[in-house]
């Protein structure tokens, strides 16, 4: 028989409080005091160890004990051969907690850096084109209402550029359905692709380009975005990062929770621009067009480098020109 520990007993049927003492006799727990009870140790469930919460011992019939004297109870548990679970030992050790903190940061970093882009890529390619089309539906209509005016370029000029691009072969032979549309914009030179398959080219962009082959370079870059499912991947990634941030900070404030996705999105968009550049390089090379035409696109854009929307989240123009020239 071990030393006894004072405890409060509740029978699970009424809220009546019984003052008892708990001791261990062989493989039996023994209660004495306001109520007498014996129960085999194996049938009892002991709550996990913490420093500031009350320890509890539950009986199979819903009755339970509350024990405030942590030190005496721990001694009793020790002599009866009870051992804390791994998680409890981690939670109770500062050293393990600090290691867990480091491991958490590392796991978050690895997820963000490797797992998420890979998963988003797989998911984006697995998505049927019809679903992807739906993602961009309505974006062009919205832009037409607020940002764009009809293009001032002649129909012959538009068709000429479309035909010229249609004659170019893609590096891997596959070619997603796409449509080149021209618009006059209030936001200056710009070109972008929508998941709906629309490649939008502004009049200002056409005017800025030194020659038509540079325009082909721009279109090849945008086709690269489409071929590589960049927008879909980005939507998947930002929603995943958003969901993660909401889980981490959600109960604090929605403002705090939306900050990380915004900041983390920047890195992905840089990687994506490089990938589209690589696609354009491959496409021009495949059609025997000198890469210098593509380089000239970024030289021209770099000259008006005072934060046009096209460049805001993109790698610096000089860096991209250097990359393209190095590929020659």
* Binding-site ranges for another protein (CB under 8 A): 8, 10-17, 47-48, 50-54, 56, 62-64, 66, 87, 90-94, 96-97, 100-101, 103-104, 107-108, 111, 131, 134-135, 248-253, 256
> Residue 247 CB, nearest distance to another protein (Å)?
8
- Closer to another protein at the Cβ: 246 or 327? 246
Distance separating alpha carbons of residues 69 and 57, to the nearest angstrom = 13
> Residue 120 CB, nearest distance to another protein (Å)?
15
- Closer to another protein at the Cβ: 254 or 312? 254
Is the distance from CB of 228 to CB of 175 less than 8 angstroms?
no
- Closer to another protein at the Cβ: 20 or 153? 20
> Residue 309 CB, nearest distance to another protein (Å)?
22
> Residue 19 CB, nearest distance to another protein (Å)?
11
- Closer to another protein at the Cβ: 13 or 155? 13
Among residues 140, 156, 149, 301, which one has the least CA distance to residue 221?
A: 301
Question: Which residues have a Cβ under 8 Å from the Cβ of 59 and sit 6 or more positions away?
Answer: 12, 37, 39, 43, 44
Distance separating alpha carbons of residues 297 and 314, to the nearest angstrom = 14
Among residues 209, 213, 192, 222, which one has the least CA distance to residue 153?
A: 209
DSSP 200: E
> Residue 285 CB, nearest distance to another protein (Å)?
36
Tracing tokens 């007498």 back to the chain, one arrives at 36
- Closer to another protein at the Cβ: 27 or 34? 34
């Amino acid at each position: 028989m071990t030393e006894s520990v004072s405890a409060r007993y509740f029978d699970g049927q009424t809220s009546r409080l019984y003052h008892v003492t708990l001791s261990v006799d062989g493989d039996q727990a023994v209660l004495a005091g306001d109520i007498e009870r014996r129960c085999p140790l194996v049938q009892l469930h002991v709550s996990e160890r913490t420093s500031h919460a009350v320890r509890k011992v539950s009986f199979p019939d819903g009755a339970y004990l509350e024990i405030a004297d942590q030190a005496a109870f721990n001694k009793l548990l020790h002599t009866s051969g009870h051992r804390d679970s791994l998680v409890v030992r981690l939670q109770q050790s500062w050293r393990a907690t600090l290691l867990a903190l480091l491991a958490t940061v590392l796991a978050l970093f690895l997820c963000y850096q490797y797992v998420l882009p890979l998963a988003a890529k797989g998911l984006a390619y697995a998505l049927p084109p019809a679903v992807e089309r739906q993602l961009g539906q309505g974006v062009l209509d919205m832009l037409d209402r607020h940002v764009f005016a009809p293009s001032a370029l002649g129909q012959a000029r538009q068709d000429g550029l479309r035909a010229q691009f249609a004659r170019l072969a893609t590096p891997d032979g596959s070619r997603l359905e796409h449509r080149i549309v021209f618009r006059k914009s209030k936001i200056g030179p710009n070109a972008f692709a929508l998941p709906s398959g629309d490649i939008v080219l502004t009049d200002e962009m056409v005017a800025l380009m030194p020659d038509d082959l540079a325009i082909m370079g721009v279109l090849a870059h945008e086709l690269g975005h489409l071929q590589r499912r960049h927008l879909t991947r980005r939507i998947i990634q930002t929603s995943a990062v958003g969901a993660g941030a909401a889980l981490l900070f959600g109960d604090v404030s929605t403002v705090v929770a939306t900050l990380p996705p915004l900041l983390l999105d920047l890195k992905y968009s840089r990687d994506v621009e490089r990938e589209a550049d690589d696609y354009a390089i491959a496409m021009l090379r495949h059609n025997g067009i000198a890469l210098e035409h593509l380089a000239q696109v970024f030289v021209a854009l770099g000259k008006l480098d005072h934060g046009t929307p096209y460049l805001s989240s993109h790698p610096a123009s000089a860096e991209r020109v250097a990359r393209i020239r190095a590929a020659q």
